[in-house]
Amino acid sequence: MRIALITPGGVDRTGSHRVIPCMLWLIERLTQAGHDVQVIALQQEPRPDQWRLLDADVHNIGSRPRSLRGVAKLLALHREKPLDIVHAFWASIPGLVGGCGRALAGIPMILTLPGGDVVRLPEIGYGGYLTWKSRAVTALSLRAASFITVPSETMRDHARAAGVDALRVPLGVALDRWPAAPPRRRDLAQPLRLLQIASLNRVKDQPTLLAAAARLRDARLSFTLDIVGEDTLDGEIHAAIAALRLEDRVRLPGFQPQGQLRAWVDQADLMVVSSLSEGAPIAMLEAAVAGVPTVGTAVGHVAEYAPEAAIAVPRRDAGALAAAILRLAGDEELRLRLANAAQVRALAEDADFTATAFLDLYARAIHARKAA
């Protein structure tokens, strides 16, 4: 097949910085299976350019208007050699570009909604349903899709509530890049090691996480918390840590390349999610593969895995989050049961599973087009 993947970014030429790991894992599996993969990255870099990545061609659009330039690039690739399928990630501009490809050239499109596409959180200015313009773009993208996928059953429920019929296709972990490790019993004489891998931004809701950390300190729990990710809030979270006097418990190491994240996960006892909205998150699946269980807000896979393979608490509830962490700190057998159950699920739906599922959808969409 000749496949066009459309994404805002996540396909940096380095393969390690500013990347979306599950995107790279999918590209790698598609090219290894002999498919011709053309990636249209709308804003990976500020200027138009092209490079090879994992045996795929990446076409960076860069300059505005990205939607029009993206459509032009898609049609040019189709004229050069007919595309069999378009796979757009996010229903914003990527979905709009893919939808134009279907309308203008008849190329069938798979649309994946990784996160906030059908979400509206006006208090933090987040979500594809936030404004009339974003809702209109999302609606056009959804209407043009042959199939719509979401990464978790929780996200599927959100989509269904918005009138969107979506298929669940998890964005699994590449076990050759991120090998499985058995859950390990923690040393109870050492502090409980908490980890969050997430950019510092509004949707990840680190203030609730820090409020929970303050409660853990006040409960005299011995713990450390590492929040690994790029700071997009200009030091706001650093200031909050200082205000709560958590400097001796909480560290912010900043952005870490994908290749260095495994060391952080291997040192952790618990992955903590505090997000207001998530489709997955991928970091939770990576932790599960590495034998580390997750406690967090009832979003994405956290809600989907709970109660057998994760502990989920209400969003914005620092007390409930702290109580769940305290529970696991005092019940090592429960922590290990959660870790084992989560690992079984994550291993069953790895990156190979994801690629196979998408290839099946590609074939179904192509067949439906030919039969129409």
pLDDT, one tens digit per residue, over 68-125 is 999 999 999 999 999 999 999 999 999 999 999 999 999 999 999 998 999 999 999 9
> pLDDT for 331-359, tens place per residue?
999 999 999 999 999 999 999 999 999 99
> pLDDT for 172-220, tens place per residue?
999 999 999 999 999 999 999 999 999 999 999 999 999 999 999 999 9
> pLDDT for 19-66, tens place per residue?
999 999 999 999 999 999 999 999 999 999 999 999 999 999 998 899
pLDDT number for residue 327:
98
> pLDDT for 131-184, tens place per residue?
999 999 999 999 999 999 999 999 999 899 889 999 999 999 999 999 999 999
**Rounded to two decimals, what is the model's pTM?**
0.95
Q: How far apart are CA 240 and CA 172, in angstroms?
A: 34
CB 289 within 8 A of CB 175: yes
Q: How far apart are CA 226 and CA 197, in angstroms?
A: 8
Residue 106: CB partners within 8 Å, gap ≥ 6?
369
pLDDT number for residue 284:
98
| Best CATH choice for the domain 192-348 from the list 3.40.190.10, 3.40.50.300, 1.20.1050.10, 3.40.50.2000 | 3.40.50.2000
Residue 256 structure tokens: 């870490």
**What percent of the chain lies above the pLDDT cut of 70?**
100
Q: How far apart are CA 99 and CA 111, in angstroms?
A: 9
pLDDT number for residue 64:
86
Greatest extent of the chain over all pairs of C-alpha atoms, in Å? 66
Q: How far apart are CA 337 and CA 155, in angstroms?
A: 25
Cβ of 75: how many Cβ atoms within 10 Å? 17
**Domain map (residue ranges) of the chain:** 2-172+350-371, 192-348
Within this chain, domains 2-172+350-371 and 192-348 share the same CATH topology: yes
CB 62 within 8 A of CB 43: yes
Predicted confidence (pLDDT) at residue 232 exceeds the cutoff of 90: yes
pLDDT number for residue 63:
81
pLDDT number for residue 370:
86
Q: What is the CA radius of gyration of the chain?
A: 21
Partner residues linked to 60 by β-bridges = 41, 49
Q: Select from 33, 45, 20, 178 the least CA-distant residue to 112.
A: 20
Predicted confidence (pLDDT) at residue 372 exceeds the cutoff of 80: no
pLDDT number for residue 196:
99
The predicted model gives 2-20 an average pLDDT of: 95
pLDDT number for residue 182:
98
The CATH code for residues 2-172+350-371 is 3.40.50.2000
pLDDT number for residue 16:
86
Q: How far apart are CA 63 and CA 42, in angstroms?
A: 9
The predicted model gives 238-259 an average pLDDT of: 96
Q: Select from 225, 233, 220, 341 the least CA-distant residue to 273.
A: 225
